[in-house]
Chain A
């Protein structure tokens, strides 16, 4: 099984070489067998799975962190694997005729195969980290595919948008999964489901659910995250057919279904999933009627259908789970074929604008037939040849008998059927609009190309898909036993006892609902021009896209503004930040920890020469600030240095005193040398506010350092190690000068690096001055 996931990735590696060296044959032909092989492999697993023998295989990755490529094949993942590899094969076949050999085929197939492998990984992974890895890989490869014609601005915009939104959700999903694994102590989804009691009792339950659902909703384009899907239609049509109708957008559905056993049946799950699902269903179908681009209609239709599947998953009943699985299958077939037909129309007429199309029925009879089956199945027209009707009927039926457990859920439940009917009416309208407006009536406007029927190769894939629409519509129980039943069992945990029948009898309310949908749908479709102005009221000027664009631009403006506010480029300001932070952090710590203590028991006596020197130093230090002349300031500062060396003498540190004396002399001399070249001290008056702030900050720093010094002197926690040095210096180091022995012997390493620092400083000065001169000369 791991080879099935690995194969597309390996193919992606080889594709560029095939494209480079075998130019005579379209690259697509060479790699077509790969998805087909995977498809047959999964087909061969059908009997195993329906008999309940689930497959499991594992490749270790980072076992110490619980990260493994652990693959698990049960009914649900088998259904998705079949869809991915099956539709993948058809899409590759279709793309061979859709894309010219002059296109950047190597890019296209690499991205497509990476996506295929990632998608298989998502649906087969049992390990949450592997799941997340593949999840993000689908986001990235989808980003690359949407931006396939990267020279177009709209492609780049759509790619970026989808990337931002799906990665946002992906990250939040990762958060939820990590929380789950912390609570349950495992990284395997199956073991998590087994430990579902722990999860339900956990205080993080709501958080986990919201985080994971955010991931599922963004990926599956649920309201209000649906906005990326219409913009993703900038991708080549095979991509739209594959990713944005059949596979990737169902990853969120898959995740919700996969974790259904963990969350399903709880109130919050019902409210969130059903609520957002219904909202998406109604909004998507309502907005689809407004679109003028064939692919945009299909995009909104996908959004709406995904909302419908989500709604069914939210119901939490066994019948609803079965209906959801059924509709996942049906939607993949008819939506895939519709996208391919839209691509054919685009390819053969040069436009996708529905306002310029019409009357293509006689010119493109096969495409028209295919579109007829796809669109009518999508609309749920009650005829047994359309599989869409069967699952939609189940949707109505399950929406009528909801088991509600709490008042909140019970207060919502009665509205569900009404909203479902509302959404389905618009679904009917846009399906009719899609078909009749493109293929009947008169040709509108001048088309760039003279329309004619597509080559047979392009038609094979939609024909296969439409055959499924019809066959499943006629004989739904053919896929019931091998595919739908195990998938439902995997979602719900129990085997459904479902026999799909077309005819429920006269007194089924679900049938009446379908009738209402068709009747109202026909009326609305015929009077479409009369009520279309309703879109000026709802949504009117409001749109999620505008919100997205606003937020997107806003973040740049806000962050730029923020950065400009504090990154002024003035060193004075940066010093202020640093010092204020030090005052804040240290001061608060001192205050909070009660760190300030005064212990006067261990103080040395003070003699008057020390006081005198200290006073002189203090006066000199204050005078330095007030000096108007640079040279004078340096000289006065020198007093402080010499005073310090005097203090060293008083405190019996001859080495320090000597060093300080010489170093002070050298620095004063160097200062004088440098400042000689500088212009006169800038006596520009600083504003009073800034000056006051300077004074406050510097006084606070002084006070704080004093306090810290007193406090640390007063709280000596350990014996000093000085005694050791004094005792051992002669014995071990062979010297009586303890300071020197410490410097060269006991802690010679410090000295070694200090002289290195000195050396570097000298070379730095040399380089700075000499190299500057050389540059100036050049």
Chain B
């Protein structure tokens, strides 16, 4: 029996963006407030899972033509390259630095290389969570 869960679909469509925004917020704020790559990544994965639950695997796979397994590799690569990057400045592995810059729109902003590392964590966590859940979900599906 196919049920028409329009309320779920409508609310999901809105809430997903809220969650994604929150996830990005968590990720970016991580250095100064609670949050960070790990939680942000899990949150983003939660948003995607909500999409899958409301609209079904086939639909979302058509829209989101993303292979989440690549996220794992990409995330690990970014995190690793961040570490290697410090060699360029003759620093030990995974040395981070930060600075304050005046950016248009945002004003005085702190930019830290640690964010790149966190980005790696973020992507890996999304990739891992999505891979696990989708693999199990698609199993005999």
Contact = CB atoms under 8 A, between A and B. Distances in A.
B79 A658 contact: no
A669 to B, nearest CB: 8
B121 A658 contact: no
A198 interface: no
Nearest to B115: A744
Interface of A: 654-655, 658-659, 662-663, 666, 669-670, 673-674, 733-737, 739-741, 743-745, 748-749, 751-752, 755-756, 758-759, 761-763, 765-766, 769-770, 773
How many B residues touch the partner, as a band? 35 or more
B79 A666 contact: no
Given A735-B112, A739-B36, A769-B135, 17 more contacts: A655-B35, A659-B42, A662-B43, A674-B136, A736-B33, A737-B31, A737-B35, A743-B38, A744-B114, A744-B121, A751-B79, A752-B117, A755-B79, A755-B121, A759-B76, A759-B128, A762-B72
Secondary structure of the B contact surface, majority rule: helix
B125 interface: yes
Given A654-B34, A733-B114, A752-B80, A758 B42 contact: no
A149 to B, nearest CB: 61
A732 to B, nearest CB: 9
A740 B35 contact: yes
A762 B132 contact: yes
Contacts of B26: 658
Nearest to B121: A755
Contacts of B38: 659, 743
A762 B128 contact: yes
B60 to A, nearest CB: 17
Contact of A769 (B96, B112, B139): B139
Contacts of B39: 655, 658-659, 662
B37 A748 contact: no
A735 B96 CA distance: 11
A758 B98 contact: no
B90 to A, nearest CB: 18
A106 to B, nearest CB: 56
A700 B83 CA distance: 45
Given A666-B42, A734-B110, A763 B131 contact: yes
A762 B127 contact: yes
Contacts of A674: 136
Contacts of B132: 670, 761-762, 765-766
B128 A735 contact: no
A740 B136 contact: no
B122 to A, nearest CB: 10
Contacts of B85: none
Nearest to A658: B39
18 contacts: A654-B34, A659-B39, A662-B39, A670-B133, A734-B112, A735-B31, A737-B34, A739-B36, A740-B30, A745-B114, A748-B94, A748-B96, A751-B121, A755-B124, A762-B69, A765-B131, A766-B135, A769-B136
Contacts of A758: 72, 124-125, 128
Contact of B94 (A749, A755, A762, A765): A749
A524 B139 CA distance: 91
Contact of B32 (A669, A737, A755): A737
B139 A773 contact: yes
Contacts of B12: none
A741 B42 contact: no
Contacts of A734: 31, 96-98, 110, 112, 114
A765 B135 contact: yes
B21 to A, nearest CB: 16
Contact of B33 (A662, A669, A737, A752): A737
Contacts of B131: 762-763, 765-766
A759 B34 contact: no
Contacts of B73: 759
